[in-house]
Structure formats: structure tokens, C-alpha cells
Amino acid sequence: MERANHSAAGRCSAAIVGALLLSSCALPGPKEIEARALQAGPAAGASERPAIRSAQLRAAVGDGDYAFIEEVSRIESAVARRPLIGGNRVRLLKDGPETHRAQLEAIARARHHIHLDVYLLTDDELGQRYAELLTRKARAGVKVRLIVDGLGGMGAGEAYRRRLQEAGVEIREFHSVSPLKDPRVWRMTRRNHRKILVVDGRSAFTGGINITDDYSGSPSASGSRLSGSSGGSSGSRSAHGWRDTQVGIEGPAVAEFQRLFLYWWGELGGQQQDPPKSLFPGIERSGDQYVRVVVDQGEDLLDNLLAPADGAWKSLSGKQQDEARIYASYLTAIGKARQRVWITQAYFAPNEAFVAALEDAARRGVDVRLLMPGESDVTLLMHAARSHYQRLLDAGIRLYEYQDTVLHAKTAVIDGVWSTVGSANLDYRSFILNDEANAIIIGRDFGRQMEGMFEQDLKSAKAIDPQAWSERPWTQRVKERGAAAIKWAL
């Protein structure tokens, strides 16, 4: 369902977008990223205090992994332009029922404000539960602000939004696809793909989980179901909910999510204002995890082409080289990994540099494993991912396909201490076109939970046998090549 919306947008402008992508500068490789970071230096306000890094950060990851984190963090600080913030408690939330239960409970406790930024919002049973609670809180005097994507939010129509607004909920739409609201329909190539919730400036949530009945149940037949929900929507072929991941965060890093939400809110309103201090309550240390929020602002490719300011080619090149921050964070951690690179990815259609980084890691003895969908809501992207399998298998990388239901998670854990959970896929759309947000969590305790979740997921996955894969039918190879040829438009 999510990618079906993406693909609809991509098909409308596939030829133009493809020409721009294929004729523009390539996304940088690990060495280029590191060179750029050394040249730029840490962003103002983004460098970590040495005393914290050498003591508390070392305690969070252990002496054996401190050198790895030190090196990765130095580059990320310059590339991501966001600080690494300590003192947080990060809760790993697996699948829809656990995530929506936690988010709805946080909303119910809200006393001052609720800031919700979501890609898919639908007027189904789960969407109605959010609407009911948001309207109740707004009528009780809580300030409720909602950012919804113009394409992903089409499932929450005018009646749904009017109900919210009449209760006092403020709504701002990102890139409407209605020509009556915005005649620049070519802007549909860029989407707001983030999923972020901030409540009272004290708790934040982010990850890959949308507000749709695809997430009413957990993947396993014995898994939980969100109380009050009757089942999944027609967007999934499985009777069970999609497999996905979210995180809940308490501690000083919540202020980063708050600042970013307010910046995006101001951009959509056409005016930036200094936020009141009440939106940033003093937050004491809540745990031992370090969090960096890495965000990407998508590129309006067709906007640049049709109404260029300094030239579309220059703008596109600047985006790719300087602002593909989530991509750069992944490549940095993979390039420095010494032990394990375990990635769970819903839509794996990366560029050459990313595939080469995985190969290099495997060939220097790193345990590289990729978990990808065996069932997808966008079959073409599943075939695009499979187009890389032979090359990855030849490098000694272990591949798995999840079998229970649609896999929609976008997570990774590297060396057991560097983890990421967020909205960004490993494809051109997330690298270049979409607005995305990922949380990077540094800490051994959280990394252990991530590895445990990955190992549990493998129990519901099929390992790809190298010999059997090399003997797959020619019809499968044709599908892979076809999907690989157009993966930039998916």
C-alpha cells in the first residue's frame, strides 16, 4: 500500500526523473563521504563534548567497540549535522500493536501538546482511533498539530480532516496532489515519508510504522492484536499485520525531534518563528543510550527542472553530494564495521557504492546478513532487490527472505553497538526524493535487543541457498533485470 502510492507518483514522471538521476552525479562512496566530513568538520553545536565521549560513551559501548564508535561518530557528526545526545531511554517497539498501543497511551497522557508527522494516514479503524483521541485531547485544551503527506494521506479524506479541524486540531499538508490546492502537480515526486510523534516535549517516537489497519495485528498467528481492531486492511495479502519496527524515546534527544517538527511545521506554513520555551521542558537523563536524529530533505527534481533557480543540475548534484545524510551514515558504519552488519530492509534497491560497501565488509571478514521480503506490497521492488542476490552471495553475504507477511521494517545493527530505526529505505527514492528521518542509537544494551530481534525474525525467514539461486529459472532472471532497469522510478 505504501509503496503502491510511491509507485503511482513515480510512474507519473518516470521518464524525466530517471533521466535526471541517471545523468546526474553519483551518490558518494565511503571514501568520498569521509573526505567530505574531514573537510567540513563538525557542524556548529553538533560536536560532542570530549569528556562525555571519553567516559559515558565508552561505558555505553564498552572498551572493545569504543574505537569503532569514535570513528563513525566523528564522520556522522560532520555529515548528519545533528548532535549525538546522551542520557536517553530507548524502547524497541516491534510491529503495529505494540507501537500503536504505546503511541496512543502517550497521546492519552498529553497535557500540553501533541505533534504528529505521518506518511500514511487512513480513515479505517485504526485511523479512527487516532482521530477520536486527538479530537478529545484538542477539545480538552491540548495543542494538537498534524503534518500529513498529500499522497500518503489521501486515505484520510475531507470528512476525516474536517472532524479533526472542528475539534481544534491544526493540519498542514505536504505537497498536495490535488491541482485545486496546488497546481504544481509535478511536485508529487517528492514525498514526506517520515513517521514522528512528539508528546509534551518529553517523549518521541519514530520508525517505519504508519497509521493504517495493515498494522492492527502482529505478523505471527499467535501474535497480539491492538485492542479494538478487527483485522488488517486489503493492502496486505496476509491475514496478519505487517512486520515493522518503531522506537520510543525519552530523554534529552526528544528536543531534537521537537526542533525538527517545528521547523517542518514552519516551512509548510511559510514562516519560521521562535518556538515558545514551553515546548522544550527541561529533560533529565533517562537512560544510557546515545541518539542522533538523521534527517534528509528530499529533492524537488521536477520543480527544479521546470522552474530552476541556479540550475537544476547544480541543485541535484548538491543534494546528492551534501544532503544524502542517512545514506552516508549507513555507508560510514558499514565501512568501519569489524564484526557484524545485520540489515532488515523492506525495499532494497541501492546504488553501486552501497552494494560495493557490503561486499568489501564481507571480504574483510565481517558477518554481513540481509533480511528482505519474501512477500511485498510492491512486487517490482522485490525483484529489484533480487537482482543483487548473485553478486552478494558471491561475496559471502548471507541472504534471507521473510515469509510470514509483508516485511516493511527499515533497521540495521552493526557491531552490536550502532543501530538505526527509521523511515528510510535503501533505494533511490529515499536517498534522493523523499523527506526521511532515522534515529541512530548508540549503546550495547539496545544493540543486543536489535540483534535478538533480528535473530528472532530469521526463524520466520528462508535462507537463500547459493547453489539453488544460481539455478533459478530464466523467467525469474528476466523479472530481476527488468525491475533493476527501472528501480529509480519505483
DSSP symbols for 60-74:
HH-HHHHHHHHHHHH
Phi-psi region of 311 (alpha: psi -120 to 50; beta: other; left: phi over 0): left
pLDDT confidence of residue 303: 56
Phi-psi region of 404 (alpha: psi -120 to 50; beta: other; left: phi over 0): alpha
pLDDT along the chain (490 residues), means of 10: 50 47 64 82 52 73 87 89 92 96 98 97 95 98 96 92 97 85 73 96 97 85 59 48 96 95 92 86 88 87 52 39 83 96 96 96 97 88 92 98 95 97 94 93 96 97 96 89 73
DSSP symbols for 122-143:
-SSHHHHHHHHHHHHHHHTT-E
Beta 289-296 vs 436-442: how paired, if at all? Answer: antiparallel
pLDDT confidence of residue 311: 40
Active site residues: 193, 195, 200, 408, 410, 415
Amino acid at 318: G
DSSP reduced 3-state for 93: strand
pLDDT confidence of residue 10: 45
Q: Which of 13, 29, 35, 27 is nearest to 184 (CA)?
A: 13
CA distance 110 to 137: 8
User: Residue ranges per domain, the chain?
Assistant: 2-489
pLDDT confidence of residue 52: 54
Write the class of the CATH domain 2-489: alpha beta
pLDDT confidence of residue 301: 59
Q: How far apart are the first and last CA of the chain?
A: 13
Q: Which of 27, 119, 24 is nearest to 79 (CA)?
A: 27
pLDDT confidence of residue 217: 82
Whether the pTM exceeds 0.75: the reply is yes
DSSP reduced 3-state for 25: coil
